[in-house]
Structure 1
Amino acid sequence: MRIIFSCLFLITFFSSLAQEEVKPEIKPIVKIDSLYREDQFFFSMTYNMFTDIPTQFKQNKFSLGLSAGFLRDMPLNKKRTVAIATGLGLSYQNYYQNLNISRDGAGAIIYGVNSYSEFVSNRYRQYSVDLPIEFRWRNSTFDSTRFWRIYGGVKLSYVFSNSSILDDGETTYKINNNSDINKFQYGPYLAAGYNTWNIYIYYGLNPLFNSATTISGEKINLKTLNAGLIFYIL
């Protein structure tokens, strides 16, 4: 009987050990896509300036520009560090300055450059649809989203809405969709930086106003210059 009880005890002991055996964890195999694209949403914030300014022209306050959109990435080499990209975006541009846009007694639009003491407030703003086309270089890899980049290209814009508001203390002149504004605007831009933070600069090649717009016979040849930051989000 002792032999039988001993055998039963050993069977129970080894059975409990077998039940406590820890099975090795089976981890899923993660496949890394080496054929990645840097398709990205972007958002930019800029300080807006003008070049080719008329006599006595000045800006005041902070003229803010905002834009956002999406870019489709198309790599050109095996390492995927060189690419071209195109996309679509929307922009809002605001300018505080002393180029006054008002109307004469007959309702015609007139332009002037006045001292800041001669009006209370004055600003111009526009909204546009943008088509950026850019050439890209980056030192990215398929397993890292942190890298240096230099992106340069051309932005084509269609201004679908614009307005100017001048308050001279007696009358407020609000002019919407001024036909003297060039609806099609274009220029080169450059974005460079590391990871999410990148500097951005854009220079408009064609004037803001059409060729017939003048101040006392002098052509208004204002061109836009926007500088600030652009953020890329995968």
Structure 2
Amino acid sequence: MRNYLILIVFFASLQIASAQVEEAKDSIVKELDNKYREDQFYVSITYNLLGDKPEGVSQSGFSSGFHLGFIRDFPINKRRNIAFGVGLGLSSNSFNHNFLISKDSDGEFNYSVLDKSEVNYSKNKFATYMVEVPLQLRWRTSTAEEGKFWRIYAGVNVGYVLFNSSKFRGDLGTIKHSKIDSFNDLQYGLTMSAGFNTWNVYVYYGLNSIMSNARIDSESVDMNALKVGLIFYIL
């Protein structure tokens, strides 16, 4: 009888200990769930296109963009799979084209379209270097324990141009300019990134023009930026 009592006490102790362990696990998981967020570093590589080009303007070669930064995550629902994202980053963007930026004898900037049959050149591009603030509404299938998931992040990206430049190399010689005053300092557009785990497609559509007060003859230059590429999120 005594042995039976010992066994009963032993198994009862196991049940109590097991229940306590499960309760502790539930408490830890609940605590994780309550604190879970998707704060992320990001790196993006894009192919840059020009929209609303003036007549005769075309692109050539590969126009690239490189973007990096950090986004802070602010979940807004109990499951924490919907959130706002606010970030800070840097980007460089180049655009290769037949759009020439030059200066006249008075030091004023002039804008014209190059004809390849008349002027040979090996390089003609402008570039911008910006600090950016991405603002996102974020949806994902992730949990506090699962690191591979589907995501759709949509929002806006606001950029401030820290520096701009243009470079031409060809029959007209080498022409370099910087701090071109016709570039808009503030540039903003709609963004979306979507994908699974590491691989995500990224799209940016500029809502305002890259330049202001620039004209080719009597036509206003209202080109905006369209960027398509891949973005990688790193926890």
Q: d(CA) in 2 for partners of 1:104 and 1:119? A: 21
Larger radius of gyration: 1
Amino acid at match of 1:37: R
**Structure 1 stretch 111-120 or stretch 50-59: which is displaced more?**
111-120
Which runs of structure 2 are paired with 1:133-212 in the superposition (5 Å)? 133-210=135-212, 212=213
Q: d(CA) in 2 for partners of 1:64 and 1:156? A: 19
Matched, 1:63 2:63: yes
Q: Map Cα deviations across residues 33-71 of structure 1 (whole Å, 9 max, x no partner).
A: 223110000000000001101111111111110000000
1:107 to partner: Cα distance: 2.3
Q: d(CA) in 2 for partners of 1:138 and 1:103? A: 50
1:232 to partner: Cα distance: 0.3
Name stretches of at least 5 consecutive residues in structure 2 with no aligned partner. Answer: 1-23
Q: d(CA) in 1 for partners of 2:230 and 2:61? A: 19
Matched, 1:40 2:29: no
1:115 to partner: Cα distance: 1.7
Matched, 1:217 2:226: no
**Structure 1 stretch 124-133 or stretch 166-175: which is displaced more?**
166-175
User: What is the aligned partner in structure 1 of residue 16 from structure 2?
Assistant: none
Which runs of structure 2 are paired with 1:11-160 in the superposition (5 Å)? 31-32=28-29, 33-35=32-34, 36-117=36-117, 118-120=119-121, 121-160=123-162
1:196 to partner: Cα distance: 1.1
1:168 to partner: Cα distance: 3.2
Structure 1 counterpart SS, 2:38: coil
Structure 2 counterpart SS, 1:34: helix
Q: d(CA) in 1 for partners of 2:72 and 2:194? A: 18
Instruction: Please state which structure has a larger fraction of its residues in helix.
Output: 2
User: What is the aligned partner in structure 1 of residue 232 from structure 2?
Assistant: 231
Q: d(CA) in 1 for partners of 2:139 and 2:165? A: 38
TM-score (norm 1): 0.85
Amino acid at match of 1:91: S
User: What is the aligned partner in structure 2 of residue 25 from structure 1?
Assistant: none
Q: d(CA) in 2 for partners of 1:217 and 1:166? A: 23
% identity of equivalent residues:
42
Q: d(CA) in 2 for partners of 1:190 and 1:170? A: 41
Contact 1:103 1:173 in 2 (8 A): no
TM-score (norm 2): 0.84
Name stretches of at least 5 consecutive residues in structure 1 with no aligned partner. Answer: 1-28
Q: d(CA) in 1 for partners of 2:169 and 2:64? A: 20
Q: d(CA) in 1 for partners of 2:209 and 2:120? A: 25
